[in-house]
Amino acid sequence: MTVTVPYHCRYLEPIGVLPGVGPKIASLFERKGIRTVADLLYTLPARYDDRRLVSPIAALEPGRPATVRGTLIQVRSTGGRGRLRRTVAELADDSGTIAVVWFGFAGQRFAKGDRVQLSGPVDSYQDKLQLQNPDGDIYADDLPPPATIVPLYSELEGIGQRTWRKLQRVAGERFAGDWIGGVPAPLRERSGLLTVGAALGFLHQPPADLPGDVEKLLTPDSPPLRSLIWEEWFVFQLAMQLRRRLFARATGIAFHCESSRLDALLASLPFSLTADQANTWREILADLQSDRPMHRLLHGEVGSGKTILAVLAAFVAAQSGYQTAILAPTEILAEQHWERFSRILEPLGVSCVLLIGTEAPPKKRRLKDLVRLGSAQVVIGTHALLSGDVEFPRLGLAVIDEQHKFGVEQRAKLVSKGVRPDVLVLSATPIPRSLALTMCGDLDISVLREKPGGEGKVTTHLMTRADRVSMYREVADRLRQGRRGYIVAPRLAAATEGQSDAVQLHAELKNGPLAEFRLEVLHGKVMPEARRRIIAALAAGELDAIVATTVVEVGLDIPNAGLLVVENAERFGLSQLHQMRGRIGRDGAEALCLLSYDEASGEKSLERLRLLASCHDGFAIAEADLKLRGPGEMMGARQSGLPPLRFGKWIQRELSLLEDIHRAAAEVLAADPALADPAHHWAKMVALQRWGAWLGEGGYG
């Protein structure tokens, strides 16, 4: 059963229902993603023009917008037609005069002698002040325009500010008045919130008697914007927790594996599980043995051993007669998984295959036949797994690695290849607690903090671009000592001066400071056979280092790699750098990480890199990254493929607010699990309207 939306809101009507919006205007708005009345109303002003304060011309300063009143003592048109036309005027008041210029049609309605109020930016041209393209009104001597706060919207070609304001006013009057939103009235009143309609009306038409700085209206502290943020997050949290309840009610697969077989597998491993791994494995095994579908997120420290738990889960599924699909974001990671799964499971009679897009068509056809016949018990691959001709007769477990790199539709497509399979989601780096709570509330969460076998000491040094000669001298010394390494460039194709790409950097190093060493270049476009040869050569000591893009970020597991160089490190996130750093020192020996950065990148970038150099705790780094970047930026990964959270960009340091909203949603559902109370009617309706398709993802509705 899928979730359907049982009603239609008027504000979801296409924007063409508004007077004056024909196909041409509608197409202009569509370029900005504005298709419905709601889209229009949710497009907030970029800033405000406070026209309550009228300045004398003599007090105007260049570079500052102003509102002035006076008489046009001269008006003339020059130039060509249409947009090439220019209207030049001179405005006078009791204190002086100023030139005014309009481009295009804007100035054609003004004439000499008009009494006007004009608002716009003041510039200097040929040592004289002028108003450029001001907005304005003509008024009678005894009836000047009312003092107002005028919203100004982002530029959109073909849509003037007057059109913006007119349409926002009409949309608000016709559609927003009864727009309550999803926060129940008792909770809304207790939290001091406005309805969605009232909040939008306030922001699009602020009252003239508004005290204080009007620009504060567009900060999270303003009551109307706070109300919109609150409502959006509350509805999202409701949907998240409703989704979790849907999972809990569904009937899935109860796997069974003889304990002796599982014990034999564990005994065959060349290591013992850490206490963290053992505890998490008990959680996963309980999920597998339950007849409720597993939906679990496993995240933790880099190198904490998440993959082996997926191997164990796949073994249990195979012993129960079911297939496992493992979806990886890159071919390199998929290949590394295939090698590890095959090494452990093939000796126990579990067939593992690798299905990636760059394999030759005949081989792909043979592999797909193995999957379709059920002969392939563990199928590891990239987006190629999602192809319609990849058919699983008994898919019981879906493992999604680096899930934030896949959209909702892609994840749902994999899950839909089975009948309510168990789902295990892996994240290579720790997720901050507050984000895990608010953005992953539909999943059970397991955390790994402990690293198997301890960890080698990794020393991190920051190097400026000016230090590159000495940096590569140090790299050469390390390579002569037999340490193998990764040298990472930020992207494949260099577009700006001073930023290395892997191919060019490889050529530079091979013909320069590292000429004596065996180097290869590795990036996502290297063909599979060549890629496997390069990785195997590095592991066997036949190469000294690889020059790569961020393909080393995940998947590469070469224990004796002890050197990492990252060029333009300021361009990477903290967690991404920590993840790359986790590729070295895995043999317990000392390792060296060198982060080269551009001094012109600024103090904030340097602050982040200093933090990384001084800290090796992935959880602390994730929390620090959250504080530096804010949840508004970091939440994007979890949103992949979901309808946008429109007000995420306003949430920067509002972690406590997110947690408050999460608790409020939990309390509402605890008291009324079905949202059957009339007070919760709109909460349920809005949650279904915004998130209904997501709630039904994978057939769990």
Rounded to 5°, angle at Cα 282 from 279 and 455: 35
- Beta strand residue intervals within 210-307, DSSP E: 295-300
**Distance between CA atoms of residues 351 and 334, nearest Å:** 16
**Distance between CA atoms of residues 547 and 479, nearest Å:** 14
Per-residue pLDDT at 367:
94
The pTM (predicted TM-score) of the whole model is 0.78
Q: Is the pLDDT of residue 144 over 80?
A: no
Per-residue pLDDT at 654:
65
Q: How confident is the model at residue 11 (pLDDT cuts 50, 70, 90)?
A: confident
> Where do the H-state alpha helices sit in 250-305?
259-268, 275-289
Average pLDDT over residues 255-259: 92
CATH number for region 259-289+303-427: 3.40.50.300
Q: Do residues 651 and 657 make contact, with C-beta atoms less than 8 angstroms apart?
A: yes
Q: How confident is the model at residue 82 (pLDDT cuts 50, 70, 90)?
A: low
For CA atoms 259, 260, 265, 267, the dihedral sign is positive
3-state SS of 568-621 is: CHHHCCHHHHHHHHCCCCCCCCCEEEEEEECHHHCHHHHHHHHHHHHCCCHHHH
Q: How confident is the model at residue 637 (pLDDT cuts 50, 70, 90)?
A: very low
Q: How is residue 174 annotated by DSSP?
A: I
Per-residue pLDDT at 460:
95
Average pLDDT over residues 55-68: 91
More confident position, 341 or 137: 341
For CA atoms 461, 466, 468, 473, the dihedral sign is negative
Q: Is the pLDDT of residue 633 over 60?
A: no
Q: How is residue 13 annotated by DSSP?
A: S
Per-residue pLDDT at 493:
46
Instruction: Identify which of 367, 409, 412 has the alpha carbon closest to the alpha carbon of residue 391.
Output: 367
Average pLDDT in the chain? 86
- Residues with Cβ within 8 Å of 395's Cβ and at least 6 positions away in sequence, in order, are 322, 323, 324, 325, 417, 418, 419, 421
Class of CATH domain 458-632? alpha beta
Instruction: Identify which of 196, 205, 156, 162 has the alpha carbon closest to the alpha carbon of residue 33.
Output: 156
Q: Measured in whole angstroms, how far is the alpha carbon of residue 458 from the centre of its chain?
A: 30
- Tell me the CA distances in angstroms from 286 to 68, 289, 661, one per residue in order: 73, 5, 31
Q: If DSSP codes are grouped into helix, strand and coil, which group holds residue 561?
A: strand
DSSP assignment of 308-334: HHHHHHHHHHHHTT-EEEEE-SSHHHH
Per-residue pLDDT at 594:
96
Average pLDDT over residues 14-32: 93
CATH classification number, 53-146, choose in 3.10.270.10, 2.60.260.20, 2.40.50.140, 2.60.40.10: 2.40.50.140
Same fold, 259-289+303-427 and 458-632: yes
Per-residue pLDDT at 560:
83
Average pLDDT over residues 81-96: 84
User: pLDDT above 70 covers what percent of the chain?
Assistant: 90
pLDDT in tens, 644-655: 678 866 665 566
**Distance between CA atoms of residues 90 and 496, nearest Å:** 46
Q: How confident is the model at residue 643 (pLDDT cuts 50, 70, 90)?
A: low
Looking at beta carbons, which pairs linking 366-372 to residues 24 or more positions away fall under 8 Å? Answer: 371/323
- Tell me the CA distances in angstroms from 642 to 318, 421, 609, one per residue in order: 32, 21, 31
Listed range (133-142, 329-338, 343-352, 666-675) with the worst mean pLDDT: 133-142
**Distance between CA atoms of residues 209 and 194, nearest Å:** 18
Query: How big is the chain, counted in residues?
Result: 701
**Distance between CA atoms of residues 204 and 217, nearest Å:** 10
- Residues with Cβ within 8 Å of 511's Cβ and at least 6 positions away in sequence, in order, are none
Q: If DSSP codes are grouped into helix, strand and coil, which group holds residue 92?
A: strand
Angle of the 259-268 helix axis to the 306-319 helix axis, nearest 10: 140
Per-residue pLDDT at 17:
92
Q: Per-domain residue ranges for the chain?
A: 53-146, 259-289+303-427, 458-632
pLDDT in tens, 475-504: 999 999 999 999 998 764 444 444 448 888
pLDDT in tens, 153-194: 988 888 888 899 999 999 999 888 778 899 999 999 999 999
First to last CA, the chain: 5
Q: Enter the tokens of residue 668.
A: 């509402």
Q: φ and ψ at 297, to 5 degrees?
A: -100, 130
Instruction: Identify which of 131, 134, 108 has the alpha carbon closest to the alpha carbon of residue 62.
Output: 131
**Distance between CA atoms of residues 186 and 659, nearest Å:** 19
H-helix or E-strand spanning residue 100: strand 96-103
Given the structure tokens 């059963």, which residue do they identify? Answer: 1
Per-residue pLDDT at 698:
43
Per-residue pLDDT at 491:
64
Q: Do residues 355 and 338 make contact, with C-beta atoms less than 8 angstroms apart?
A: no
Per-residue pLDDT at 635:
52
Looking at beta carbons, which pairs linking 114-117 to residues 24 or more positions away fall under 8 Å? Answer: 114/71, 114/72, 114/75, 114/138, 115/69, 115/70, 115/71, 115/139, 115/140, 115/141, 115/144, 116/69, 116/70, 116/71, 116/72, 116/91, 117/51, 117/54, 117/67, 117/68, 117/69, 117/144, 117/145
pLDDT in tens, 569-614: 998 888 889 988 988 988 778 899 999 999 888 888 898 899 999 9
Per-residue pLDDT at 499:
42
Q: Is the pLDDT of residue 385 over 90?
A: yes
Q: Measured in whole angstroms, how far is the alpha carbon of residue 414 from the centre of its chain?
A: 21
User: pLDDT above 90 covers what percent of the chain?
Assistant: 51
